[in-house]
Structure 1
Amino acid sequence: MSETLPTLLDIEASGFGRGSYPIEVGIARTDGSCCAFLIQPLDEWTHWDPKAELLHGISRQRLEREGYPVRQVALWINDELRTLGKAYSDSWGYDNTWLSLLFHHAGIIPGFRLEALRILLSEEQLAVWSDTKEAIIAEQAIQRHRAGDDARLLQLTFERTRHLTEGRAS
């Protein structure tokens, strides 16, 4: 790999919209490795959308049993991203809101910025993004709608679209 890959962050949530909260955070690192943590819901986090559970396959009971405390997850994210200073998300509006909620309830200030992945993509990359992403899903055993795997999928798609479009830009 001649060029460094961007660090991608993805969040799975209890649903969308008012009352939703983060349930899993995943990071794909610059070296291509990835990791993810389930988040133990706080008592006041009661919103649960069964349609979201159908997508990610994570039950609230599993979060209560296997999730990590909010503060521990926020500290882990800061440890992962502080030296880089930023990570990217393909769903910045949602992910930034859920990340802010997580850090607010943890009582911790994020030591990094979350930025929209879109700012890294050329028009040529955008033109082939969707087809490339679908091809990678078909080729590899990527479990969709799990934070770590989705972050890695975005990173692989970024890398492939960059290589596909090298030399095309004028």
Structure 2
Amino acid sequence: MSVALPILLDIEASGFGRGSYPIEVGIARGDGSTCAFLIQPLDEWTHWDPKAELLHGIQRDRLVQEGYPVGQVARWLNDELGQAGKAYSDSWGYDNTWLSLLFHHAGMLPHFRLEALRILLSEAQQAAWSDTKEAIIAECGIHRHRAGEDARLLQLTYQRTQDLNL
């Protein structure tokens, strides 16, 4: 019998700090499958940090053309995460802020809580986290700073460091 993994959520954004907004949200489900959506920026979402674009590689024009409306992304998140009731993030402070902004502009409330991943981690897991994550990146060829891939990377790192608790 396999135990379900925690659901991980990751958000890529237009930058950091005041004026930034979510541009991509991804989740790694309890079964290890992933899904991610680009988010169409609202007219008032104008902040764009070229340094952030260098990290995630997503151009604003692509969001306008290929992104999904905020309401559709919020409904998808509620559909995906409502039954589980919670998801975890390694950057809770940022991701929770961007998630709140998304739901506010969608005129909806989230049907789940976002919690900090660190509350699930033992001291041994925390100590081994960085090295384990880098090893998984090298082994799997994961493309960093894309929401779905980053969520899965966190989940794989969690899974591998779980062995340290035995």
Per-residue CA deviation, residues 91-133 of structure 1 (Å, 9 max, x unaligned), is 0000000000000000001000000000000000001000000
The match for 1:154 is: 154
The match for 1:143 is: 143
Per-residue CA deviation, residues 35-54 of structure 1 (Å, 9 max, x unaligned), is 00000000000000000000
Counterparts of 2:130 and 2:55, CA distance in 1: 19
Counterparts of 1:90 and 1:39, CA distance in 2: 20
The match for 2:165 is: 166
What is the Cα deviation at residue 4 of structure 1? Answer: 1.5
What is the Cα deviation at residue 2 of structure 1? Answer: 2.6
What is the Cα deviation at residue 141 of structure 1? Answer: 1.9
Structure 2 gap ranges (5+): none
Q: Counterpart of 2:151 in structure 1: which amino acid?
A: A
What is the Cα deviation at residue 86 of structure 1? Answer: 0.2
RMSD after superposition: 0.7
What is the Cα deviation at residue 166 of structure 1? Answer: 2.9
Counterparts of 1:97 and 1:108, CA distance in 2: 15
Query: 2:67 aligned with 1:79, yes or no?
Result: no
If the length of structure 2 is used for normalisation, what is the TM-score? 0.99
The 3-state SS of whatever aligns with 2:78 is helix
4+ residue runs over 2 A deviation: none
The 3-state SS of whatever aligns with 2:36 is strand
Count of residues in Structure 1 that have an aligned counterpart in Structure 2: 166
The match for 1:25 is: 25
> Is contact 2:122–2:165 with CA below 8 Å preserved after alignment?
no
Structure 1 gap ranges (5+): none
**Superposition map of 1:59-138 within 5 A:** 59-138=59-138
Counterparts of 2:93 and 2:10, CA distance in 1: 12
> Is contact 2:124–2:165 with CA below 8 Å preserved after alignment?
no
Per-residue CA deviation, residues 59-83 of structure 1 (Å, 9 max, x unaligned), is 0000000000000000000000000
Counterparts of 1:59 and 1:160, CA distance in 2: 33
